[in-house]
Structure 1
Amino acid sequence: MSNKPRTALAVAGLSLGTALNPLNSSMIAVALVVLRADFGLDVAAVTWVVTSFYLASAAGQPVMGRLADRFGPRRMFLLGMGLVAITCALAPLAPNFALLCVARAVMALGTATAYPSAVVMVGTLAHQANVEAARPLGRLQMANTSAAAVGPVVGGLLVGFVGWESLFLVNVPLSLAALLIVARAAPPDKARERGSVAELVRDSDLPGIAGFIGALLLVMMAALNVAPDYRWPMLAGGTVLAALFAWRELRFAKPFLDLRLLGRNRPLMLVYLAFAVFSSVYYFVFFGLPQLLQEAGGYDPGVVGLLMLPLAGMSVVATPWAVAAMGRFGVRRVLLAGVVLLTVVAALMWVLTGTLAIPFVVVLTALMGIPYGTVGIASNQGMFVSTRPQDRGVAAGIYQTCRYVGAITATVMIGVFASGGVHQDSWMRMVLAMLVLCVVTFGISVFWRQQKA
């Protein structure tokens, strides 16, 4: 097989693998009511099946990126897909809800290997095919966007016709397909670090990894208010642990997260900040609009899922356009144009305070897909060009963690602005919050300049 067809096949396998994380983070939403009935749970308890996945994903992405940098992206990708296949085959047999949540967390760790590993491999694949790295990155972006948007529709069909167990089982053939395609088409890993097990353990900064995960878990659990009586102690503990983590990483010779490098790499830090704030705007719509349509509009959940599909469709259309535009105008101009368009669409969301008629909803969800695809791929490319090749795995992992931070920020803010329910008055407050966040995203993006790390 020649280089270009092999590269295209490898990118297809990588895209399939990276799509599993957003797909599983979104399609579980339609199964919550069924899980409550099957396991006899209340509303607070059943949210752990969502929380466990988000927390494991947010903590696992940078860890898996570090491992991909160190031990080889192809190896880590195949290991992650194998872990997903085994876990999802066994998850429907879980005898209780606690083990089901554990299975979701393990599945999240497996899917978390895909994106950072894929980003590391993109450079080699693009070089082999003699194309810009933005092209395969754009395909990864389209796969992630489409999977997240169609998740509620796919989940609704699976749960309705088969049951909640199918949400796990569907991942078995998908992860095996990704594994086999990448094993066949992706280039072998270059020589990475070698040495005894003791040396690898000593140099892997296990205390740093533990501190990072612990701080992230505590802060996010406090933000999600998963244990109301311990919210503030968890936040305080997470803050202290984060400070200790930063202190250690600045002094350790081979840190898991090189804070000294991040301190010197201003473009990368700006990409992270802008993408986290941008993600909070997107997830305001992704999580808030379906609730508005159901509670205030009285639409059936299946109809709401279909009304969200234009977002995925337009983001898929916008992504290759943005890739071509970056080649002509540069990453920064495309990024700024996308943020400006995001602000305009967020302002147009005000229309829904007066009407929830289907034509208006379809137009607005479609319009939101354009800046989502544009800013998403521009931020992704900005991260790529701001990072040294040997650091792209962990950089991509942290990039994905920024997405989850934005998602969690949006859900917390929705709870604050819509504590009495998601209706048109509370939607007005959410639109104002989105506009403020858009201005912040633009302000951060203005200072970004493309340069090699």
Structure 2
Amino acid sequence: MTRRQLLLISAVALGTLLNPLNTTMISVALSRIQADFDLTFSELSWLISTYYIASAVGQPVMGKLSDMYGRKRIFMLGLFMVTAASLLAPFSPSYGWLLGFRIIQAWGSASLHPAGMGLIRNEITGNQARALSVLSIFATTSAAIGPTLSGYLLYYGDWNLIFFVNFPVIVVSFLLALRYMPGDPPNKREALRLDGWGIALFSSLILVLLLFLLSLPERIGWHWLVLWTIGSVFFYRFEARHQQPFIDVKFLRSHPAVCQIYIHFILVNAIYYAIMFGFPSYLQQVRHFDSQQVGTIMLGLAAFGILVNPLAARWIDRSGSRSPLIFGAILVIAATLFMQTVGDEADSGWIFFVLSLFGMSGSFHNLGLQTALYLYIDRANTGIASGLFMTSRFIGTILSSSILAAFFGIRMATDSLHAMAWVCSALAVIMLLLSVKTEKRERHQDGHSRHSEVKGAMEKQS
């Protein structure tokens, strides 16, 4: 790999880490933001859910725009949007302004991954797996250290600092991109069409579902559920007739096993992010830990996920995804049951241990489900499957914010944490059943070539 290619990878990697970094850094800052703007937890949950709605819609939309208008152009636009949002968000005069800037930040960071991936696939024809694995390490590490970094920043300052962290990353990524990214070819707008109505319908469905979930703690809004059901049927029929749909529902209909993997991944992220966002607020408001202590404790969720990752990869490579997925689900069930022992007198070391179980399970699920996904589809459908896999991640995170609003929306207390843990336990049992149903398929079709195809596809998705 040449020096120019390495610097191109660095530019893309630094850009793509902005989304997971900003996704998780906000977790420890939620308590301070809630106090500054005098918010209920239900109101505060919109700061999480709107970011994920924007990201879920923005990833495929900005990916198609990068095909139409040029990948370098869209990558630079994404960096500019993150810069503007990070500069203005710390000085938000009201909560509504902060929400708006976070949405801009989400759209900007969502454009960096698809545009950067397109650039790398075009420019690096050899050793692509190595290049894409570097991106995976950057994304995984940034997501994992987000809460810890935020905790230390808040200890020495305020929630505004989490936005300023972006600037060194943006500057280096911009300079490298300006120098080493190839120019864009002529636009191909005539060959591609953006499914605007599909995007609008999908966004509306996510919003309506979120409104229904947020109504659960108080007065259940059944009208939102009815509206979502009718809208889903209409969306399915509309997308099935569209030549270039935003969501390829025909592909989903013909691949039920893939749909099962998406549902599984939604549940994984719903639990993981409910813990990631719920625990810091609980530790600060109920246990009265300072932000530095919270950051250190949350390191259990981050560090063990990174440490276990290579071990999980070897296990999956040797025996397939079924057994690691079952083990990961058992870890989640154990962790959610242990959460019942976390109370007003629980030792911080014990809380660290409980969080480490969640962190370890994340590695087994992320790698296991990606491997299972690419065993069910052929090479021609990899792009479709990958895009929907990312969308299912964001749907899970949206569900997590609704879970938090349901249990912490009325009051932040230990019994609310325990009630949320029981719901997470129930979801983990469903995950276990889905893991057991995962078929154990032969991975080495046609010898080494099949093995390389699966491994390369998995690394590309990461």
TM-score interval (norm. to shorter): 0.7 to 0.9
Deviation at 1:382, TM superposition (A): 5.2
Look up the match of 2:33: 35
Give CA-to-partner distance per residue, 1:77-127, whole Å, 9 cap, x none.
332122111222233344333222111111111111123334445544663
Contact kept in structure 2, 1:387 and 1:395, CA below 8 Å: no
Alpha-carbon spacing, 1:438–1:246, altered in 2? closer, same or farther (3 Å)? closer
TM-score normalised by structure 2 residue count: 0.79
Secondary structure at the aligned position of 1:342 is classed as helix
1-structure distance, mates of 2:371, 2:184: 23
Q: Which amino acid aligns with 1:113?
A: S
Q: Does 1:155 align with 2:141?
A: no
Look up the match of 1:174: 169
Alpha-carbon spacing, 1:417–1:159, altered in 2? closer, same or farther (3 Å)? closer
Look up the match of 1:440: 433
**One of 249, 257, 261 as aligned partner of 1:259:** 249
Count of residues paired in the alignment = 438
Look up the match of 1:373: 363
1-structure distance, mates of 2:324, 2:405: 27
Contact kept in structure 1, 2:151 and 2:294, CA below 8 Å: no
1-structure distance, mates of 2:300, 2:250: 42
Alignment of 1:34-433 (within 5 A): 34-121=32-119, 123-124=121-122, 127-128=125-126, 130-131=127-128, 133=129, 135-186=130-181, 193-195=188-190, 203-225=193-215, 231-266=221-256, 268-290=258-280, 299-323=289-313, 328-329=317-318, 333-349=319-335, 350-354=337-341, 356-380=346-370, 386=377, 392=383, 395-413=385-403, 421-423=413-415, 425-426=418-419, 429-430=422-423, 432-433=425-426
Contact kept in structure 2, 1:343 and 1:439, CA below 8 Å: yes
Contact kept in structure 2, 1:72 and 1:192, CA below 8 Å: yes
Alpha-carbon spacing, 1:99–1:432, altered in 2? closer, same or farther (3 Å)? closer
Most deviating of 226-235 and 246-255: 226-235
Most deviating of 226-235 and 52-61: 226-235
Deviation at 1:217, TM superposition (A): 1.9
2-structure distance, mates of 1:23, 1:226: 30
Most deviating of 413-422 and 213-222: 413-422
Alpha-carbon spacing, 1:291–1:256, altered in 2? closer, same or farther (3 Å)? closer
2-structure distance, mates of 1:210, 1:274: 26
Alpha-carbon spacing, 1:412–1:12, altered in 2? closer, same or farther (3 Å)? same
Contact kept in structure 2, 1:311 and 1:365, CA below 8 Å: yes
Q: Which amino acid aligns with 1:345?
A: L
1-structure distance, mates of 2:273, 2:16: 19
Deviation at 1:251, TM superposition (A): 1.1
Alpha-carbon spacing, 1:176–1:388, altered in 2? closer, same or farther (3 Å)? farther
Deviation at 1:390, TM superposition (A): 8.7
Deviation at 1:210, TM superposition (A): 1.3
2-structure distance, mates of 1:415, 1:95: 24
Look up the match of 1:15: 13
Contact kept in structure 1, 2:301 and 2:356, CA below 8 Å: yes
Most deviating of 68-77 and 13-22: 68-77
Alpha-carbon spacing, 1:390–1:79, altered in 2? closer, same or farther (3 Å)? farther
Q: Which amino acid aligns with 2:330?
A: V
Alpha-carbon spacing, 1:448–1:19, altered in 2? closer, same or farther (3 Å)? farther
Q: Which amino acid aligns with 1:161?
A: Y
Give CA-to-partner distance per residue, 1:268-326, whole Å, 9 cap, x none.
43432232122233234434544665577664443232112133223223334445566
Give CA-to-partner distance per residue, 1:171-228, whole Å, 9 cap, x none.
2332232233344445666777343xxx86xx32211221111212221232234997
1-structure distance, mates of 2:433, 2:403: 16
Contact kept in structure 1, 2:27 and 2:280, CA below 8 Å: no
Deviation at 1:339, TM superposition (A): 1.4
Contact kept in structure 1, 2:202 and 2:235, CA below 8 Å: yes
1-structure distance, mates of 2:168, 2:331: 38
Overall identity of the aligned pairs, in %: 27
Q: Which amino acid aligns with 2:146?
A: G
Contact kept in structure 2, 1:36 and 1:42, CA below 8 Å: yes
Give CA-to-partner distance per residue, 1:382-416, whole Å, 9 cap, x none.
55674757973x65443222122222334444565
Most deviating of 18-27 and 155-164: 155-164
Alpha-carbon spacing, 1:239–1:139, altered in 2? closer, same or farther (3 Å)? farther
2-structure distance, mates of 1:28, 1:139: 25
Most deviating of 226-235 and 165-174: 226-235
Deviation at 1:20, TM superposition (A): 1.6
Gaps of 5+ in 1: none
Secondary structure at the aligned position of 2:270 is classed as helix
User: RMSD in angstroms over aligned alpha carbons?
Assistant: 3.7
Give CA-to-partner distance per residue, 1:335-367, whole Å, 9 cap, x none.
323312212322432345346334433344334
Most deviating of 405-414 and 305-314: 405-414
Give CA-to-partner distance per residue, 1:43-97, whole Å, 9 cap, x none.
4444433332222222222322333455454443332122111222233344333
Q: Which amino acid aligns with 1:176?
A: V
1-structure distance, mates of 2:429, 2:167: 42
Look up the match of 2:447: none
Contact kept in structure 1, 2:90 and 2:160, CA below 8 Å: yes
